[in-house]
Amino acid sequence: MNARDDCFALPQRRMLHSEALALLRQLARTLEGTEDIDIREATGRIVAEAVHAPRAIPAHTNAAVDGYAFPFDSYDAKQGAHFAVGGRAAAGDPLQSILSGRSAIRIFTGAIMPEGCDTVAMQEDCRLEAEAAVFIPAGLKRGANRRLAGEDVAEGETVVLPGQRLRPQDVAALASTGVANVACFKKPRICFFSTGNEILPPGAPFSVGKVYDSNGPMLAGLFAPLNLTFAHGGILPDDREAVHNALHAAAHNFDLIVTTGGASLGDEDHVVAALRAADALSLWQLAIKPGRPMGVGKIGSCLCFALPGNPVAVLVCALLYVWPVVRGLSGEQWAEPQRLPFRAGFEIKSRRRGRREFFRGWLDSDDGQITVKKYERDGSGLISSLRSAGGLIEIPEQIENIREGDTVSFIPFSAFGIF
């Protein structure tokens, strides 16, 4: 689908942050196709079909501790009681029955509660009085130290839903039902290109006028928590035909292309020009800082993000725009990043209205009160600012001044798996 075929037209003005998100939300459609994934490799994958518990979990009422199982009706909660030990039950043993109302069963953690028993006394609290007799002390309540059948998951209960990203604890819940495989959406395939004659790959000899590619390794690490397929397409020269050919070749093999650099208005900015020439540009020039020249297009079925070249702008655009789209392609519901309100520990005077700004900052404690501190320098090429920050401070379009103590929104990097 070309840009002219969708419902979006490039505005003559710079697009607002909210408008860009609305457009991207429409483009972030789940990839077609599913695959069965081994439960031991399913962490981080997106569930395609609901899974329901085939039986109660646990399947049987069982002992939560090592000790003695006994019938509470034969017990004196105020004085304790003597019981004959009438058997032994270990985890995995078949169901047992007590011999009489005054009998207890030596039981171990996870063993099925014997018929007639409803309470367990911990072994360290009990006193053996003879070879086959035990004193159970006072103070226990009916049902103590037992786990009821189905108390974790009821039979037929939904364990996971479509669109859910599996965490280790979700995988544990699935494994407890006995399933070996889970149907998941396919992983998005992302191809990354750096652009510019000045860019050097890691490890290359340095020369005057050159800079090393920091964006590629940063984005690879950024998207690692999303469990997708990330490939480096290489460094593209400042040549329009080379850029055009590389983008169109990659579009046949990937679901999403991300480029850095070449997205602005300069004579050597060829990525957006290549997308425009292919009639594939849906979004360009945002009313944000940093990241204003970001472009989004589509070549065939492949989405293309043309990000700026400066590392700070790259990270901001990747978090705010690419990250939710990738999650949408993966099968997840559209999700806005977590925004937390904190008092500002800084001031901004006479800010330009009409654009949304994202400053680097961190949380600090002043006299026991948490405030947001702002990195002093705002240059979008300062990787040091990203290293010092714990997240982004978001300032909406209509705000002109921030006074110390005003409430501001803070987007923690931890919401994106960055710690």
Domains and CATH numbers, the chain: 3-32+187-330 (3.40.980.10), 35-57+157-185 (3.90.105.10), 62-147 (2.170.190.11), 340-416 (2.40.340.10)
Instruction: Give the burial string for 258-287 (b: 16+ CB within 10 Å, else e).
Output: bbbbbbbeeebbbbbbbbeebebbbbbbbb
CB 67 within 8 A of CB 111: no
CB 251 within 8 A of CB 259: no
CB 145 within 8 A of CB 122: yes
**267: its two tokens:** 């004579």
Tell me the residue type at 146: R
CB 54 within 8 A of CB 178: yes
**417: its two tokens:** 């798996």
**44: its two tokens:** 């981080």
Q: CA gyration radius for the chain?
A: 30
Local confidence pLDDT in tens for the 419 residues of the chain = 344 444 344 555 799 999 999 999 999 999 999 999 999 999 999 999 999 999 999 999 999 999 999 999 999 999 999 999 989 999 999 877 766 678 999 999 999 999 999 999 999 999 999 778 999 999 999 999 999 999 999 999 999 999 999 999 999 999 999 999 999 999 999 999 999 999 999 999 999 999 999 999 999 999 999 999 999 999 999 998 999 999 999 999 999 999 998 776 666 678 888 888 776 778 888 999 999 989 999 898 999 999 999 999 999 999 999 999 999 999 998 988 999 999 999 999 988 889 999 999 999 997 789 999 999 888 888 999 999 999 999 999 999 999 999 999 999 999 998 98
- Reported as type and span, the H/E element at residue 386 is helix 383-388
